[in-house]
Amino acid sequence: MISKLLNTNTLIRSTISNRSLFRAKSVRQSFPGFDGQLVSSWPGTLFSLSLYLVASIAAFFSLSGVAGAVQQTSTADHSKFEQLRGPFENGPAVTKACLGCHTEAAKQLHKTTHWTWAFDNALTGEKLGKKNVVNNFCVATATNWPRCTSCHIGYGWKDDKFDLTSEVNVDCLVCHDTTGTYKKFPTDAGHPNYEPKMWPPKSGKVRQPPDLVKVAQGVGKPGRSNCGACHFYGGGGDGVKHGHLDSSMHNPKHATDVHMDVDGLNFTCQTCHTTGGHQISGSRYAPTATDEKGIDIPGRTDDSRASCESCHGNTPHGAQANAKLNQHTDKIACVTCHVPEFARGGRKTKMWWDWSTAGRKDQHGKPLVIKDADGYDTYDFKKGDFRWESNVVPEYRWFNGEVRHATMGKKIDDSAVVPINVTSGSYDDPKSRIWPFKVMRGRQPYDSENKVLAVPHLFGKDGDAYWKSFDWGRAIKAGFDATGQPFSGKFGFVETEYAWPVTHMVAPKEQALSCDACHSRDGRLAKLGGFYMPGRDRLQWLDWLGWLAVFGTLGGVSLHGLLRLLTAGKRRSS
Amino acid sequence: MARVRMYSRFLRLWHWLQALLVIMLLLTGFEVHGSYRLFGFEHAVDYHRLAAWSLLGLWALAWFWHLTTGEWKQYIPSPIDRVIAMLRYYGVGIFRGEPHPFHKDRWHRHNPLQRMAYLSLHVLIGPAIWISGLAYISYPYWAQLGLGGLSLAPVALVHTAAAFLMLTFLVAHLYLALTTSEAPFAYLKGMISGYEEISDESR
């Protein structure tokens, strides 16, 4: 039955690619073994009829231009390629077949951050990327490779000896699968499971291995869910990390994201994050805080549509809009008004993660997990305390695109909250604009003598792994040892914060912030210093003095009038 | 007593339009300042802007009128003893039922205190408001106008201070204009009809 369903998928896709209802029949015939397999019994006939119906509907939508994301314009039908007939033993075997024709693909991918997990920030000179940074979610990739690299676009990054020059270990399918059936197994260093396997462990829920042949034959342009498979689940779960990227973005509503709205514009990720040679534009490490190029046209472009201005320009508000809106674009990022809240798709995002409380057991001696009314875990013995929020109002900062990170081994000042990244910008800096941020806060382990954030060894089958022994001392030492850093033996937990620019989940324009949201005494920018803002700021002494004059005069003339009234009788009698 | 045409048609039009615009500007201005919420910030700014340009136009006409008709002479400050006499009247005489020390006619409409007050209004408060207001309103173009070094806080400070003075003036003006005439609301009626009853001796 599963293989039949997969066939359905293929049929619909092929029909759409042919863009014609009437040619669906011929496409069916072009699939070896398709007819015989399905039209062998009455239920089979019914099934194939219903298939036909589904295909017709899909074709109709494709003709009327609604289908969007699934629409294919490719000149190649991969299901016709002999090289993809399989069978395939594993992921790398598929990649080998891909590379047979796409000879340069792996070389291109080797140059991307998606592959290297390393990023040289030209602006700050910092060495970033998942390999080098520390965050306040699962802290760091080092020593936890097989778990973390389930989101690497490769196969087999299970320790720090992974061969970054290997071509067959590039995972083509995770991005190019269009069947929706290919999933990397959470703990297998980027491989899908090749045998039925339980996840979560001992849960009784079995994950079937993907049908690599079907997946390989069904490759195409990535859709939202390809990127989303990792980017919606960053930080270890749905919506955990970003808050403006979560599973509600697979097929978002208009109210969640006007561009990706599945019934509207239906953008994919790369509609904006344009690609060339597998390089994907847009970077959180080196964001474009102010796109002065405006609308990109050939000859005048930064080869990226990953900024609002790339399509909307720097004066996007129409003639009927308040003229001040277009004047505001020099100092205010589009998303500041147009993403009034994040985590708006009905999912919550993690706002607080306190590692220091991890390891607790309930009264029966069983590992403790506490969930809130909506099913979100507010305590997990493996990870500590969490706070989840939806429809979150961002925090706002002046931002010019320069971010500095507390990378592995950097000294910290533990006398206050430790900023894991420091964003630059000010009112006086013409490259700065006001940007919205999700600020993730929490407490995480550090070497309290050397003043360095720990790289805890969390995942693994060995006894040093925190999730095996629940011994922080061992886990922290193992992490420091593995990354070649000294460890004083003393550790503690320090409060940290990490600012993430909010860029997705652009709301319908009716929901954009009104002027009052910021231009008021206790508005959203109440804490943003360095400039005078009408409606928010005043000189306190001038206000005191002014109202004293006004009410003093009012009191004076009232008294004067009262005295005149009181003396009026006397005047008349005299 | 005689009925004298004290206020020309233009003067009345100017006075009442100015009154309307100033009240509108104070109402919206203090909302923009953040003192309360009434129209909503966006509308407050829009109304304020509209009223401001209207008042600027009106003031330009009024200045032209004052200068070409000689009306400006009615604002020349009086000798100090007359000012003191007025102060004494408001401070003491008015309670005792003493006669008003000033007698007005067509070309001497203002008592010595009015001369001082209106002169300050026209040459100090007014210009402070429109100069700072023009600077404020042109904020988006400062760089092009070569005013890049200017910062909004001092401009807003001058503008707000002048607005407080205007509001203070309004309070005192309303009290004096509405309650100090001999017959009830005689000044108000005069400013509407243009005619005022004045005693024969001052003619």
Contact A250, A256 (CB under 8 A): no
Contact B160 A515 (CB under 8 A): no
SS3 A497: strand
Predicted local distance difference test score (pLDDT) of residue A183 = 95
> Which secondary structure element, helix H or strand E, spans residue A542, and what is its range?
helix A540-573
- Number of domains present in the structure of chain B: 1
Neighbours of B69 (CB within 10 A): 12
Low-confidence ranges of chain A (pLDDT < 50): 1-45, 58-70
Tell me the C-alpha distance between A432 and A321, whole Å: 24
SS3 A398: strand
State pTM to two decimals: 0.86
Angle between helices B126-137 and B41-69 (to 10 degrees): 130
Mutate to test the interface with B, among A325, A514, A522, A538 (most CBs of B within 10 A): A538
Q: What residue type is B133 in one-letter code?
A: G
Helix ranges, A40-199 (H): 42-63, 91-101, 105-110, 113-116, 145-148, 173-176
Neighbours of A271 (CB within 10 A): 16
Predicted local distance difference test score (pLDDT) of residue A160 = 87
Measured CB to CB, residues of chain A less than 8 Å from chain B are 322, 324, 327, 514-516, 519-521, 531-532, 534-539, 542-543, 545-547, 549-550, 553-554, 557, 560-561, 563-564, 567, 571, 574
Contact A538 B179 (CB under 8 A): no
Q: Among residues A330, A323, A266, which one has the least CA distance to residue A68?
A: A266
Mention every residue, 6+ apart, whose C-beta is less than 8 A from residue A364.
Answer: none
Contact B33 A538 (CB under 8 A): yes
Tell me the C-alpha distance between B165 and B23, whole Å: 13
Predicted local distance difference test score (pLDDT) of residue B4 = 87
Q: Among residues A392, A383, A393, A388, which one has the least CA distance to residue A348?
A: A388
Predicted local distance difference test score (pLDDT) of residue A50 = 58
CB contact, 8 Å: B46 with chain A?
A: yes
Neighbours of A235 (CB within 10 A): 18
Predicted local distance difference test score (pLDDT) of residue B155 = 97
pLDDT tens across B113-162, in order? 999 999 999 999 999 999 999 999 999 999 899 988 899 999 999 999 99
* Concatenated DSSP letters of A428-459: T-TT-EEEEEEEEEEEEEEETTTTEE-----S
**Which residue in this structure is represented by tokens 């036909």?**
A52
Residue B86 maps to which CATH number? 1.20.950.20
SS3 A344: coil
Size of interface A-B (CB pairs under 8 A): 88
Predicted local distance difference test score (pLDDT) of residue A385 = 97
Tell me the C-alpha distance between A54 and A385, whole Å: 47
Contact A542, B34 (CB under 8 A): no
Contact A446, A502 (CB under 8 A): no
- Residue A170 burial by CB count (10 A; 0-12/13-18/19+): exposed, middle or buried? buried
Partners of B133 on chain A (C-beta within 8 Å) are none
pLDDT tens across A517-553, in order? 999 999 999 999 899 999 999 999 999 999 999 999 9
pLDDT tens across A125-142, in order? 999 999 999 999 999 999
Q: How far is A556 from chain B (nearest CA, A)?
A: 9
* Mean pLDDT over the full length of chain B: 93
Better-predicted residue by pLDDT, B104 or A59: B104
> Which secondary structure element, helix H or strand E, spans residue B162, and what is its range?
helix B152-179
Q: How far is B41 from chain A (nearest CA, A)?
A: 5
Predicted local distance difference test score (pLDDT) of residue A198 = 94
pLDDT tens across B60-88, in order? 999 999 999 999 999 999 999 999 999 99
Please work out, in degrees rounded to the nearest 5, the angle formed at the alpha carbon of residue A238 by the alpha carbons of A207 and A375: 90
Q: Extract the tokens encoding A148.
A: 């973390």
> Per-domain residue ranges for chain A?
2-73, 349-517
Tell me the C-alpha distance between B154 and B139, whole Å: 12
- B14 lies in which domain range? 2-202
Predicted local distance difference test score (pLDDT) of residue A19 = 35
Q: How far is A504 from chain B (nearest CA, A)?
A: 26
Contact A432, A425 (CB under 8 A): yes
Residue A568: closest C-alpha in chain B? B95
